Structure 1
Amino acid sequence: MHHERDKEVHQLGSTHTEYSQNYDPSVLEAFENQHPYRNYFVKFNCPEFTSLCPKTGQPDFATIYISYIPDKRMVESKSLKLYLFSFRNHGDFHEDCMNKILNDLVELMDPRYIEVWGKFTPRGGISIDPYVNYGKPETKWERFAEQRLVQHDLYPETIDNR
């Protein structure tokens, strides 16, 4: 049974998957949201994110949480996996990686709201957890993003010695 989505996504179900060794937003694919009349969150938990420190070349590891409220388009999960994998040999600071991910997904989907939260494992005794978000300008989602940003760490997580 073929679905309309087959015309929109090409990575999913492909028998030949190429893993880009360098940062590559072109692998991202989107498809039409079947429920644009409803506000709802889609959340991705990505516990195997890896990038490189731009100064030392050492690997950085993180769990990335991507949550968004779609508008007309949504990101296809396999393409997101390949996109995140493309950071493996990419040298950038934690904050820059999270902002790039947010920017690329905003460009791809034009969501109502999106947030990207990186929880990096400690190096040198310090972990860095950058949180970035975006609400569609001149909509209620812009105010929603401001509120979530202000309240983001109001109730911090219980650290489980990660």
Structure 2
Amino acid sequence: MTQDYFLDQLTLGKSVSYTDQYAPQLLQPVPRSLNRQELNIVESQPFHGEDIWNGYELSWLNAKGKPCVAIMQVNVPFDSTHLIESKSFKLYLNSFNQSRFNSIEHVRQTLSNDLSQCADGQVDVFLYTPAQFNAFQVAALPGLCIDDIDIDVNQYQPDGNLLLCDRNSVQSETLVSHLLKSNCLITHQPDWASIAIRYHGPAIDHAALLRYLISFRQHNEFHEQCVERIFCEIQQRCQPDKLSVYARYTRRGGLDINPFRSNFETCWPNYRLARQ
């Protein structure tokens, strides 16, 4: 099955009817292998990690018909067979709006079961009630921001050749940029993100890294795929011993997607940035 054929079957970019009654069949999976074929990492990935989703528009009815709301956190493992297509996820969440559930745990378990089946991997779901909303404080990605470097830019499609490093100098650092922008693979709508790159190895040239990240500006690819591409190209070009890449994308339709990939550490906290 080709990528173009598969993506044409998705509801993304097409007019659809909304339903407010529980409809798990709305969820649509996208094989992770489609993008990983190009990166030559289908059989073995050089990283671990997860995709952290935050949902701010989750609502349902309790057994008496009274509306309930919650903030949702969903963790999809990197090694699930599929990623979850975001528009179908939004449509699926809308189907909870007029559906009755016996308890918040019933809602959480339903979400976990349906999303795990879609992703073909164990998906963990956490729900936070309004009494817990203050836990979602705005934070900042740790690290040195490289955005103020004065550079000329003329490349707006990703090119790993832009990356430079000094193999005679070993460095351990975390670099942050808020200038990452890519576009949806199908609709070409802009996807905005902040990104943190932590590594130990040959010193990465900061200006070159910034040019590389900016080069995604007209690139069409899903969030998860962009982060895996960034990880693989840094690994290939600079060969750090340790590498983590964490992107925090701004929300659309009440959902933000935050892929984390690393070859040495567990996932960072679920930071909520100012733009999220």
**TM-score using structure 2 length:** 0.43
Alignment of 1:7-156 (within 5 A): 17-34=152-169, 36=170, 41-70=172-201, 73-134=202-263, 145=264, 148-149=265-266, 152=267, 155-156=269-270
Q: Secondary structure at the residue paired with 1:130?
A: strand
Contact 1:119 1:130 in 2 (8 A): yes
For each residue in 1:124-151, what CA deviation from the matched residue of structure 2 results, as whole angstroms up to 9, or x when unmatched?
A: 11000000012xxxxxxxxxx2xx23xx
* Structure 1 runs not aligned, ≥5 long: 1-14, 135-144
CA distance in 2, matches of 1:158, 1:47: 14
**Matched letter for residue 257 of structure 2:** I
Q: Which has the higher strand share?
A: 2
Cα distance in 1 for residues equivalent to 2:157 and 2:259: 22
Match of 2:32 in 1: none
Give the distance between the partners of 1:103 and 1:52, measured in 2 at CA.
Answer: 19
Whole-Å separation in 1 of the counterparts to 2:270 and 2:151? 42
In structure 1, what is the Cα distance between the partners aligned to 2:274 and 2:196? Answer: 17
Change (3 A) 1:27 1:122: same
Of 146, 149, 157, 2:271 maps to: 157
1:26 CA displacement: 1.2
- Evaluate the alpha carbon distance shift between residue 76 and residue 126 of structure 1 in structure 2; reply closer, same or farther with a 3 A threshold: same
Q: Aligned partner of 1:86: which letter?
A: S
Hey, which bits of structure 1, 4+ residues long, moved more than 2 A? Answer: 15-18, 155-161
Contact 1:75–1:108 (8 Å) recurs in 2: no
- In the alignment, what sits opposite 1:9? none
Contact 2:199 2:240 in 1 (8 A): yes
Looking at structure 1, the residues matched to 200 and 244 of structure 2 have their Cα atoms a distance apart, in angstroms, of 9
User: In 2 relative to 1, CA 111–97 (structure 1 residues): closer, same or farther, beyond 3 Å?
Assistant: same
Q: What is the distance in 2 between the residues matched to 1:122 and 1:110?
A: 32
Give the AA of the match of 2:223: H
Unmatched segments (≥5 aa) in structure 2: 1-149
User: 1:41/1:125 Cα in 2 relative to 1: closer, same or farther (>3 Å)?
Assistant: same
Q: CA RMSD in A?
A: 2.2
Identity across matched positions, percent: 26
Aligned residues: 127
